[in-house]
């Protein structure tokens, strides 16, 4: 079902954020590396941009109203969640490409070129789990809160029948490509912190929803895994 809601300025901000992220990440990596001719970096930038363009078309067509909601931090968002988001994107956009770029410059822990293909594969998997939940969950905002103003309900269709937080699964998988595409074993260090933040945020949101969203406790009994099928 296609929404008839028009995309607003706030929605455009949410829609275009991946392009701003990849520009910043690419610039930081290339400057830190001391070279603008790194093929694996440009290959990933191109793939990431193409994937973002496809997702933009799908989201604008299917869920423009949700983009309008995701374009800003809504009232009722906890300070802890704001802090977790800020730290995660600081590591994703700044710290990881900076370390990877310096690793390339000084040749500390390079990875062979073929690891690029692993990174690109992981990126496409993460893209699926990042946008698929949005087609099923009209309450898929960018922050954690009980959306009483929008009469929030439990969603159990699509990826929500597999795990309770498929969007965070997309974020988790989306953290993994960076060391592979940038060819830096050393950059797994900041990525490990990013992954830890995803687990913390998943646990936090799950607790918030169990405590404040009607029907969520029953949903937890039916869908046992928070983030990773058969694991957690």
CATH number, domain containing residue 136? 1.20.120.1630
pLDDT for residue 146 is more than 60? yes
Does 228 reside within a domain?
no
Tens of pLDDT, residues 7-64: 888 889 889 999 999 999 999 999 999 999 999 999 999 999 999 999 999 999 999 9
Does 14 reside within a domain?
yes
Closest listed residue to residue 76, CA positions, set 215, 214, 195, 213: 213
Least confident span in 3-12, 107-116, 169-178? 3-12
Closest listed residue to residue 142, CA positions, set 13, 9, 22: 13
Does 3 reside within a domain?
no
Considering its fold, how many domains does the chain have in total?
1
Domain that holds residue 183: 9-222
Does 39 reside within a domain?
yes
- CB-based burial label for 74 (10 Å; 0-12, 13-18, 19+): middle
CA quadruple 50, 54, 57, 63: dihedral, nearest 10: -130
Does 59 reside within a domain?
yes
Average of per-residue pLDDT values in the chain: 94
pLDDT at res. 4:
63
**pTM greater than the 0.75 cutoff:** yes
pLDDT for residue 1 is more than 50? no
Does 189 reside within a domain?
yes
pLDDT at res. 74:
77
pLDDT for residue 81 is more than 70? yes
76 pLDDT tier (thresholds 50, 70, 90): confident
């Amino acid at each position: 079902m296609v929404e008839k809601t028009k995309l607003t300025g706030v929605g455009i901000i949410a829609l275009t954020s991946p392009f701003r992220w990849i520009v910043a990440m690419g610039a930081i990596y290339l400057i830190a590396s001391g070279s603008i001719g790194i093929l694996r970096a440009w290959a990933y930038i191109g793939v990431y941009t193409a994937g973002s363009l496809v997702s933009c078309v799908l989201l604008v067509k299917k869920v423009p109203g949700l983009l309008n909601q995701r374009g800003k931090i809504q009232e009722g968002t906890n300070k802890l969640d704001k802090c977790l988001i800020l730290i995660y994107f600081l590591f994703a956009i700044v710290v990881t490409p900076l370390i990877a770029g310096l690793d390339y410059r000084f040749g500390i822990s390079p990875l062979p070129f073929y690891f690029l293909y692993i990174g690109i594969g992981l990126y496409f998997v993460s893209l699926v789990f990042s946008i698929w939940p949005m087609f099923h969950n009209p309450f898929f905002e960018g922050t954690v809160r009980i959306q009483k103003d929008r009469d929030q309900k439990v969603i159990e269709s699509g990826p929500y029948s597999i795990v309770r937080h498929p969007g965070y699964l997309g974020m988790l998988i989306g953290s993994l490509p960076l060391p592979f595409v940038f060819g830096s074993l050393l950059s797994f260090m900041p990525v490990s912190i990013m992954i830890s933040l995803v687990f913390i945020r998943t646990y936090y949101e799950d607790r918030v929803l169990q405590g404040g969203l009607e029907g969520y406790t029953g949903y937890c009994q039916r869908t046992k895994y928070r983030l990773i099928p058969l694991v957690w």
